[in-house]
Structure 1
Amino acid sequence: MTTIRNTMSIAAMALALGACASKGQTTANYDFGPLPATATAPSSASKIGAIIVADVSGPAALDTERMHYRLLYADARQQRPYAYNQWASTPAQLLTQRMRARFAQAGMKVLSTTDAAASTTVLRMEVEDFAQNFDTATSSQGVLSLRASVFRNHQLVDQKTFSSSIAAPSADAAGGARALAEASDAVAAEMLNWLAALPPSK
């Protein structure tokens, strides 16, 4: 009986988060919201110099606007889609825009790949995990993990993996979007410290 109740609970959770919605319900679109107030940045952030920030890459799931979640207590390997909630653009695009905006906010000179002639320093970011993970039916976290690599003149200078997990304020898509935005800002702040500590280009 316990197994049956657990199965029914998981099914009800999936319906509530994903497919259970009234006919004709409109789709809600989420992004990372406006930039938060300027955080204290490394004093040398503005001395990092011009850097090309390449588009964020990662799993195929980052190239769609669909919002997904995982029920860790049911099957952590299965991504489930929200039915009437989606990102305003793909997560890869949102992350690219957010990282560039946060770096520029801290005083860095941020360039895109079309400005290749203006800098020999390139930052590449590859996402390993970007998800809203439910520990229970009422508790979830926005999780971001990415690997960042800095190249100068096509030579690897340094590489590091950054991770952040932020508790969602609500057990739904809106809570997941907010938690993932805050996780992205936390990773950006850590990355700024790392970039500022790298040896200057010669």
Structure 2
Amino acid sequence: MKRLTPAIAALALSACSLAPTAPSRAVYDLGPAPAVAGSTLAWRIADVTAPPWLATDGIAYRLTFQQAQRQEHYRDSLWAAPPAALLTQRLREQLAAVPSCAGRPAGLLAVNLDEFEQVFGSTTSSQAVLRVHATLWPAGTGPALQQHWRLERPAAPDAPGAVHALAQAVDDWLPQLGSWLSSSCQQ
């Protein structure tokens, strides 16, 4: 009987390793930043702000075909930081290549993240939605300038699809922001 006890214990332990385990949490960021030419930041950039419902690290989605007013979050997938913090980092990395207005001190750029979620039109069809607005306070004289953007990108109907499409929307938006900043020099 004494020989049987260790065998039973070994069998019980091996059975534990065969049991299904809970999936581990996946943590995402926006991925590597696209390469930029430039080495100094030409704009003063305030931290990106966002409404309270975007101040979490949850990856948000909305099932508009069921209840459009209800925002959900993927259970086992998270952002590495709240989206506004990820966007602040990406802005500071990417705007180094956008020259400031010649002969003027750098203006202050403030960005508000208004929407950053995956929107499902059906169980198999979704898109990532990035909605932001930026305010530029030129140094010295002149009124503040403001611009709004909304970008939608097709997304696979899962958390990795949301992450990929939202990161793509951010990277597609940044050149548009850079162009707007450059055009502000004419005003």
TM-score, normalised with respect to structure 1: 0.72
- The 1-side partners of 2:172 and 2:42 are apart by 22
- The 2-side partners of 1:157 and 1:83 are apart by 41
Equivalent of residue 36 in structure 1, options 34, 37, 62: 34
Secondary structure at the counterpart of residue 144 of structure 2: strand
Check conservation: 2:99, 2:182, Cα contact below 8 A: no
Describe how 1:21-100 pairs up with structure 2 within 5 A. 24-38=22-36, 50-100=42-92
Structure 2: which 5+ residue stretches go unaligned? 1-19
In structure 2, give the amino acid aligned to 1:36. Answer: P
In structure 1, give the amino acid aligned to 2:72. Answer: R
Secondary structure at the counterpart of residue 35 of structure 1: coil
Check conservation: 1:132, 1:176, Cα contact below 8 A: yes
Runs of 4+, deviation exceeding 4 Å: none
Equivalent of residue 127 in structure 1, options 89, 113, 118: 113
Secondary structure at the counterpart of residue 160 of structure 2: helix
- The 2-side partners of 1:189 and 1:183 are apart by 11
Q: 1:120 to 1:103 in 2, by over 3 A?
A: closer
- The 2-side partners of 1:196 and 1:86 are apart by 34
Identity of aligned residues (%): 35
Paired residue total: 161
* Aligned-residue offset at 1:37: 4.8
Secondary structure at the counterpart of residue 89 of structure 1: coil
User: Deviations 1:143-176 (Å, cap 9, x if unpaired)?
Assistant: 11111000024864311101111111x2100000
Structure 1: which 5+ residue stretches go unaligned? 1-21, 110-118
Check conservation: 1:29, 1:87, Cα contact below 8 A: yes
Task: Give the aligned partner of residue 126 of structure 2.
Answer: 140
Check conservation: 1:102, 1:185, Cα contact below 8 A: no
Deviates more, 1:26-35 or 1:60-69: 60-69
